[in-house]
Structure 1
Amino acid sequence: MQTKHKVVLLTILPLLLAMLALGGLLVHRSQSLTEQQSRLIEETLLATKQAELQHYTQLAMTAIGPLYASGRNDAEAKEQAKAILRGISYGEDGYFFVYDLAGNNLVHPRKPGLVGKNLWNLTDPHGRHVIRSLLTAARSGSGFQRYDWEKPSSHQMTEKLGYVVLLERWGWVLGTGVYIDDIERATAQLRSRASANVHDTLWGIAAVAAAAVLLVFAGGVVLNVSEHRVADAKLKALAQRLVNSQEQERARVSRELHDGISQLLVSVKFQFELAQHKLEAGEPALAEVEKGLAGLGEALSEVRRISHDLRPSVLDMLGLSAALTQLAAEFGQRTGIHVAFANTLDDACLEDRQAVALFRIAQEAFTNVERHAQAGRVTLELSRVQYGVRMAVVDDGRGFDVENVDRSQTRGIGLRNIRERVEHLGGLCQLTSQPGHTVLEVTLPVYGV
């Protein structure tokens, strides 16, 4: 094989292999990131819809609350409650339904023909027993159930997220639901856009590769093997052009990746590019590589933190006390702030929504301490009080003016979120602060405590 052919071959093959490897890596990374984003979007939208359903159900319970709280069990009281529920609706497809514990429908504003019928054995297209599952969810207290149901606005079978509560004295299961086909559409659109971006990027890489190959081939053809010096000079020029084309391609792909990833990953990419430039210049680059690896670890920790914040599994499995213990330990480890947790509460006295609210409030309080307090010690207290439960977060930070924070129109949403959670559950929230001593105290009513 002639020298010029060897030069062309040895130049083109590494370039093509590099392009193929880069394209494969881009596809893999994009698919992985798209799946993570899809799961995060789905979990976030489901959590939002669950909170929405609980809010709607609470409104319905408030509407019929005087009748149920009166202690009446007569038919007239129940008929009045049914009439109230039939008259309540929200949105285009929102309504409330009622079943007794035997599976008989008592209220269904959108399908009055179902009233009085026993739907115990009703199944959806996937074979799921709809009414049985709802009754089971109501008895267990979990409340949420997914199933397929005919959407009133489209008359199509659509997946639905239902939420039910048990009115034990009347033997009723009251519920409502929202259709979640929009979640599937949102994730499908995300995947479609990601696929289109990857497709366009791959075509761009292919075009650059083709141009580079043609450039290399054209340069190899004009080499004069008979004249060693000329050939050597042209080989050097060719090698330089290849390096330039590769650098240009790396810069273009870098811009494409920048548009689709978070700031953490951008920072990591910059660290590795700096290491690459140092290596090309013959300089040591171990420090930059270590910073890049640390950034990757931070990105992975951030993904885990987001997943943990959505719904910590330990809260469901072991209860509020264990979840707060873990939260305090992680906060202390991450920030270096000493955290003391004083707990005298029995988790059994709390409802799920109260446990979740207290956990979220503690999260928000710790976040505020980390960002603003400049504290060295934080105390988390959880205890019983008369007719309720008390949680307090105390820090020895620099303090702030509570009145000015409350009057400010530009303040953050953290304190407002805490107050709204507490007010929604009928509790009290008190905040006092001075240099060296800031106290956030929350009290929630708990019957039987």
Structure 2
Amino acid sequence: MRSSRHRCLPPVQMKLRQKILLLAVAPLAVAMLGIALAVRFQATALVRHERMLVEAAYLQSKETELRHYVELAQSAIAPMVKSGRTDEATRQAAMDALARLDYGRDGYFFLYDLQGRNLMHPRQPELVGQDLWLLRDPEGALTIQKLVAAAKAGGGSVRYLWKKPSSQQVAPKLGYVVAVPAWNWMLGTGIYLDDVEQTLRQLDARAETDIRETMAWIGVIAAISILLVAASGLALNVSEHREADAKLRQLAQRVVQSQEEERARLSRELHDGISQLLVSVKLVLEAATNRIRLAPTEGASVAPILGMALNRLDSVFNEVRRVARNLRPALLDDLGLYAALQHLAREMQAGSTLTINVTQTGKPRSLADEPATALFRIAQEALTNVERHAHATRVDVTLDFADRATRLTVRDNGTGFDVARMQVDPSRGIGLRNLRERVAALGGSFEILSAPTGTLLTASLPTAPQPFSPETSQS
């Protein structure tokens, strides 16, 4: 019996592990994944926002710088413009002065007339004299027209694509232009933005590296957390498994002990009661046989002896019925649980000072064999405990047939006991633990409330008994 229960434990253990995985590890993993996705989304949005701020601030500072350069160039030619002279020599002198102004390898000034013809370009002299009004950049934008429009509007910055002199590659450029209306000129300068783009790409790469490192740390923390939860769950599972195994061993020992106690009781009753009566009957019958053999004609004198033998046989029959009734009362099968409880109360009152009242409430119904036997044994154990330990004078037994359950309550006015201590003490309360296990096996509930003024025991079995599972009994 014990080995069969142990063979049933592994599936239960697997169920517990699956519950641990589903109820603890899986939600934790989902939560950590959600946190990781939220952190990545927020970090990416923050990086994008910071990139926009850095780019805007950088362009703003470069625009201010370019404006200062243009103002410096304007101040360099201002005396010649204000002189009122418009001859070619004066204009050429102004162009030469602007061509000598530069700030770095790719920092220079350029001149166009307001119709788009190039007048001066220190880095690309091949453009001088060309009409570039219809010039388009690789993206199809009319570059010179955009610059002229900004100059006519009072001056401002324009972003466009232009060949970088140092690398001979087309690169994004930020230009700043103003108009010189007196001479029909557009004066401008610019700064190439490929270095800015490279710096921003480096910032993006660094931010992406930081995000990946953060994701890696979150993954490590999630893995450690999942391992800790799984380890805790397995430890709890092992603890419950050991506790269940200990309960099974204790229950098995109790079953063996109960069997031995029942065998010993039956042995005593058979030896002390039935055996002695049968020996007495045997002796009486032998005496009658001897008398008949010695005096065959005196049959009348044998009649009292045979009558004595019949009386003793009646006693044997009564003793056999008593033993059988203790094993399983016939009233439980013939008249039902309520009649069996009444008979049990009468028998216990006959040999004690207890007053036992048995009542029935609700609409009576027939019970299956297992629940009827379980409730009867609970009442029998409870009344036996009251008689032996409670020092009570009155016990009320109530059998309640509710709609969804059959409930048995046993209430006494005894001195009570410590229920919690009784449940943890392995050497005491074995009978009550067996009753609890019996009720749990039928899907019912078992409760004991005890105080110095008395004890209330309640056992409730559902109308449709649920199948037994080891998890229910362990709870």
TM-score (norm 1): 0.49
Structure (1 or 2) with the larger CA radius of gyration: 2
TM-score (norm 2): 0.47
